């Protein structure tokens, strides 16, 4: 994945909290919000707190694996996924991420570029379908930060918080994708992760996140359907990414990176690795095969209406 080096980035869409107090995952070990809510279906009552909790549960575990317990955030030097080891220099995205050339050389600027492209696409596409697009910022943080849904911790992986309408991302997850989940990683794998989160924002705008069945677990449950649709929306953006003006033509290896990442975070693969067996009743995101299939559906159709995961078998 290569950005047009001359593309102008808008770093204001990314809130850079990496230098803020509150960093350092160790200071926030244990606890956190919603972790023990995993696997415990919460019945949606008459809205209010119950609804908020439900939405939080939906928002969490976006790439699964948060149940696997504490993980090391250290990344071995020379990791294949660590294509940019020079990103942490104390500067902010506002200072450093101005052009596509910056996005080609720095991971944090890659985030800015992908966020810009994804929002450019949906801010045109949704109004064409009669739905207003409200921009959603991505919060870059390191270790932990306060989110509208509670404390965000990097071990949770990236998530979309429907309360404050923001995506929370510690870029160390991109390395985790490789070292912890066994994905090959790569720049378009990272782009897929971001586009998936914005898929949840689009679902939010379409009124699809608050459904009473949205957090039910299991192979054909609401949670899996919600997550697979976000994968599909990521595929839809991928199909139109070049048209947004930020990216140069995608290659087959770019798409392969996204599919590989989608497979790496499938429930069946993660469960096999973490618990040694697969328990479909507790699926929340879908199998590797399902995640690849729905990304592909979005990518090949380029049409969000192809992403209706609400009916039939998924």
**Interface contacts to Zn ion, rule CB under 5 A:** 62, 227, 230
- Comparing CB distances to Zn ion, the nearer of 96 and 119 is 119
Least distance CB 196 / Zn ion (angstroms): 6
**H helix runs in the chain, sequence order:** 48-59, 93-96, 100-105, 107-128, 172-179, 187-205, 222-240, 252-264, 267-275, 288-301
* Least distance from Zn ion to the Cβ atom of residue 199, Å: 7
By beta-carbon proximity to Zn ion, the closer residue of 187 and 201 is 201
**CB closer to Zn ion, 84 vs 308:** 308
To Zn ion, the closest distance from the beta carbon of 136 in angstroms equals: 14
CA R_g for the chain = 18
Please name every residue paired with 16 in a beta bridge, in sequence order, or none if there are none: 140
Q: Which residue's Cβ has the minimum distance to Zn ion?
A: 62
Residue 23 or 298 with smaller CB distance to Zn ion: 298
* Smallest separation, CB 251 to Zn ion (Å): 25
Tell the smallest beta-carbon distance from residue 281 to Zn ion (Å). 19
Category of 220 on φ-ψ map: left (φ > 0), alpha (ψ -120 to 50) or beta = alpha
Collapsing DSSP to helix, strand or coil, 44 comes out as coil
Cα 233 to Cα 252: distance, rounded to the nearest angstrom: 19
Q: Judged by CB, which is closer to Zn ion: 39, or 76?
A: 39
**Residue found by looking up tokens 């914005």 in the block:** 198
């Amino acid at each position: 994945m290569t950005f047009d080096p001359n593309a102008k980035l808008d770093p204001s869409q990314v809130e850079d909290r990496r230098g803020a107090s509150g960093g350092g995952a160790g200071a926030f070990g244990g606890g956190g919000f919603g972790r023990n809510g995993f696997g415990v279906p919460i019945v949606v009552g008459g809205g209010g707190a119950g609804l908020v909790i439900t939405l939080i549960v939906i928002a969490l575990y976006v790439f699964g694996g948060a149940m696997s317990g504490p993980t090391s955030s250290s990344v071995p030097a020379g990791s294949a996924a660590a294509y940019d080891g020079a990103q942490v220099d104390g500067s902010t995205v506002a200072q450093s991420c101005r052009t596509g050339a910056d996005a080609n050389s720095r991971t944090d600027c890659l985030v800015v570029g992908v966020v810009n492209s994804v929002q450019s696409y949906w801010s045109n596409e949704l109004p064409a379908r009669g739905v207003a697009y409200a921009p959603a910022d991505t919060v870059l943080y390191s270790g932990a930060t306060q989110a509208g849904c509670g404390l965000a911790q990097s071990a949770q992986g990236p998530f979309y918080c429907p309360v404050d309408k923001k995506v929370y991302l510690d870029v160390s997850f991109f390395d985790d994708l490789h070292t912890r989940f066994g994905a090959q990683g790569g720049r378009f794998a990272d782009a897929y992760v971001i586009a998936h989160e914005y898929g949840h924002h689009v679902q939010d705008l379409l009124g699809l996140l608050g459904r009473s069945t949205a957090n039910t677990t299991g192979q054909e449950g609401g949670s899996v359907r919600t997550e697979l649709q976000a994968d599909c929306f990521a595929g839809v953006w991928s199909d139109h990414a070049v048209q947004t003006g930020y990216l140069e033509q995608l290659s087959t290896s770019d798409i392969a990176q996204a599919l590989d990442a989608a497979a790496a975070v499938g429930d069946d693969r993660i469960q096999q690795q973490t618990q040694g067996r697969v328990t479909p009743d507790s699926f929340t995101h879908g199998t590797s095969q399902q995640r690849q299939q729905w990304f592909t559906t979005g990518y090949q159709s380029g049409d969000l209406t192809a992403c209706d995961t609400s009916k039939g078998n998924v």
